[in-house]
Amino acid sequence: MRVLALSPGPLSDQLVRMPALASLCRTLGASLQVACSPACREAWMLLPALDKLIPIDFDNDPALADWANLLGSIREPDFQICLNFVEGRQVNLMLSMSRIMTRIGRTGFSSTERVVDGPGWSAQRLAPWLEPLGVSLDADAFRLTLPQPVLDQVRSDHPEGDGPLLLMAPQGGATDWPEEHWIELPSAIQTRLATLRCDRLPAGLPLIRRAAAVACADVVLTSCPITQILTVFSGTPLVALGAEPGLLPERSDLRCLGTASELTTLQEDEVLKALGF
């Protein structure tokens, strides 16, 4: 069985959809093809069920030739199911000309099943998309499966020692938690826990390395929304600075601190308390 996902939006939107599509493919024994922006390729490459990525930038007003190429791509394989996150007349015309029998979307005349997002955190809200197919979703249970050599390489680069590893991942920019706090925080913690090891994610790290880094840490402190979601998918304890409401699940090992507009005034003591010190 083949499943097609038409997936617009930025990298964060792609990651939020992964638990639903992984659950669908695992339950039905299906392979997955995803049509999305080439800039989001890294996200779907993390999913073992992915068979093919179809490049199209839905958010940049695709030309008629782009829609024709996409139609050609989806008419050739034998797709049984399409989860369509795109809205508009063009995508509905294209899907109505496809051979896909089950087409699930929020709106559109081409949809054979129309759904409304459910309650819960961002990834769990897609549970209703799977219900017409008899598939349930527990987004909290979703975990990324990463190649062992990548995990081993990340561990080999860790600071020496046997203490717990704190991984820091600032988003950067004028509205982030001030840089001096990121620099001073390890010393402040080490006065309370001398064996603590600290590491910091460099900017521009490939997504698979970022996912492996958070998976190999003991706790992650980050103001980056992408790194926050990756940490949730790894099961690593997380302190999320300025997390968007509803983006992350409610878990005992996950603490959200401040809003995005408050990070410049967030005090070091508040962060230390969230980390358990």
Residue 253 belongs to domain with CATH number: 3.40.50.2000
Backbone angles phi, psi at 268, to 5 degrees: -60, -35
Structural domain of residue 97, as residue ranges? 2-141
152 and 135 co-located in one domain: no
Can you give the pLDDT at residue 221?
98
**91 DSSP β-pair partners:** none
Instruction: Pull the structure tokens for residue 158.
Output: 């860790």
Can you give the pLDDT at residue 222?
98
pLDDT category, 75, cuts 50, 70, 90? confident
6 and 137 co-located in one domain: yes
Backbone angles phi, psi at 241, to 5 degrees: -85, 125
- Domain closes at, from 122, 141, 160: 141
d(CA 212, CA 189): 24
**3 DSSP β-pair partners:** 32, 81
Does 245 have pLDDT greater than 90? no
Does 44 have pLDDT greater than 90? yes
- Domain closes at, from 141, 166, 193: 141
d(CA 148, CA 208): 12
- Domain closes at, from 111, 141, 171: 141
136 and 165 co-located in one domain: no
Candidates 270, 238, 232; CA nearest to 253 is 238
* Core vs surface per residue 125-154: b (16+ CB within 10 A) or e: bbbbbbeebebebebbebebebeeebeeeb
Can you give the pLDDT at residue 133?
96
CB 121 within 8 A of CB 249: yes
First to last CA, the chain: 50
* Number of domains present in the structure of the chain: 2
pLDDT category, 230, cuts 50, 70, 90? very high
Mean of the per-residue pLDDT values of the chain: 95
CB 82 within 8 A of CB 113: no
This model's pTM is above 0.85 = yes
Instruction: Pull the structure tokens for residue 123.
Output: 């990834």
156 and 246 co-located in one domain: yes
d(CA 72, CA 89): 18
The residues, any chain, with a CB within 8 Å of residue 136's CB and separated by 6 or more, are 23, 127, 130
d(CA 277, CA 275): 6
Beta-strand pair 31-36/2-6: parallel
**DSSP-H helix ranges across 89-224:** 89-96, 127-130, 148-156, 179-190, 207-215
39 and 163 co-located in one domain: no
DSSP 141: G
117 and 239 co-located in one domain: no
83 and 24 co-located in one domain: yes
152 and 130 co-located in one domain: no
pLDDT category, 203, cuts 50, 70, 90? confident
107 and 177 co-located in one domain: no
Does 76 have pLDDT greater than 90? no
For residues 66, 111, 93, 27, the Cα torsion angle rounded to the nearest 10 degrees is 30
265 and 203 co-located in one domain: yes
39 and 132 co-located in one domain: yes
